[in-house]
Structure 1
Amino acid sequence: MKNRIYRIGKNALAIWGGISLIGVILILGYFAYSTSIGNKTVENKATTSDVRFVLNWCRLGDQRIKKVLNSYESGRSFTGDYLDAYAIEISNVTKMELQNSKSWYRLDSLPKVLNDAVELANGWQYQIPWFPKMDELNPESVYVYPWSIYCHGTEPTGTELIFVIPKDKMVYYIGTKM
């Protein structure tokens, strides 16, 4: 009886050890894949269905999307740092539509934390040269929708912003964390 219990316990622990070993191998394999060949920067591959969230987040509606002109989706670092950006041509948007919403801010009248987030987002020109430089635009004709701003203290370390230039019928999205 004692030997039988010992044998059953020994087999149960061996099975548990095998399952645990397989689990550890799978987890290590996933991390190795996601930090090497499975973690690549993808440029100009986004489709209209990939960027629908941008216009839906800011309540403009994805039915306005004509085409995605540029896209950049960086690989993710182990700590979650990333850069995603899209240039989206839309069918229409008016200044009045944006001015009547309390969620949109004109580029020349931003609260401090949003202004800091715009400056953070504007620092990626070396990776996304097609993204508009904020200091080269007419601030009275550009609107920004802050989807999220992540701060360390009072300094933004990550942001997701949507810019609209009504006269060009363009929407620009940038999501970054550093």
Structure 2
Amino acid sequence: MSRPAPLLFALVTVGALLAGCGSGAADPASPFPERPADIDVSTVDMCRALTAGEQAELGVEPGEVLTGELSNGPTRGCGWSNYDDGYNYGVQTIADGAVVAVGSVDSTVDVLDGYGVVVSTAHGESVPGCSIYVDVSDAQAIRVQAQATKDDATGIPSFETVCGRARSLASKAIRNLGAAAP
């Protein structure tokens, strides 16, 4: 049985991040490449980001549907936890495009599976987390998150390890949500 508290914490964290990201001025040039395809995540079940087989690989049970309110509107998500290896995972909708996360603290712009992304890290001294904002359309983004909730054999996991898990989840989410979108 999964506990929602760490995932709800992540939803609140992203809300705070997004509240401070936008400058209010429109940026005429996108920092992202042209998308392979737009993915409409406005109605798709976010728990479809992982197949049953992929959930088994991660050692998680079916996802827990999450809803909330961010500073820019409602968000829908899905969260999974593996209490044996100490990782939480989440995928959620962001009402604005991923460009709102560009320039946030501890972030970089990159490309994943042809989509522009913003990779953001936080809490490296305690529970390292990696968030990847995927540019799925002009008006929407998905935020993919992996967070280490306990030390591994070498101590606190590195951002490289946590972001590797987030990148893997983001690739799966792009593929699975793109196939599930209307």
Report which of the two structures shows the higher radius of gyration computed on alpha carbons: 1
TMscore range, shorter length:
0.3 to 0.5
More helix by share: 1
Name the structure, 1 or 2, with higher relative contact order (CA <8 Å, separation 6+): 2
TM-score by length of 1: 0.42
The TM-score with structure 2 as length reference comes to 0.41
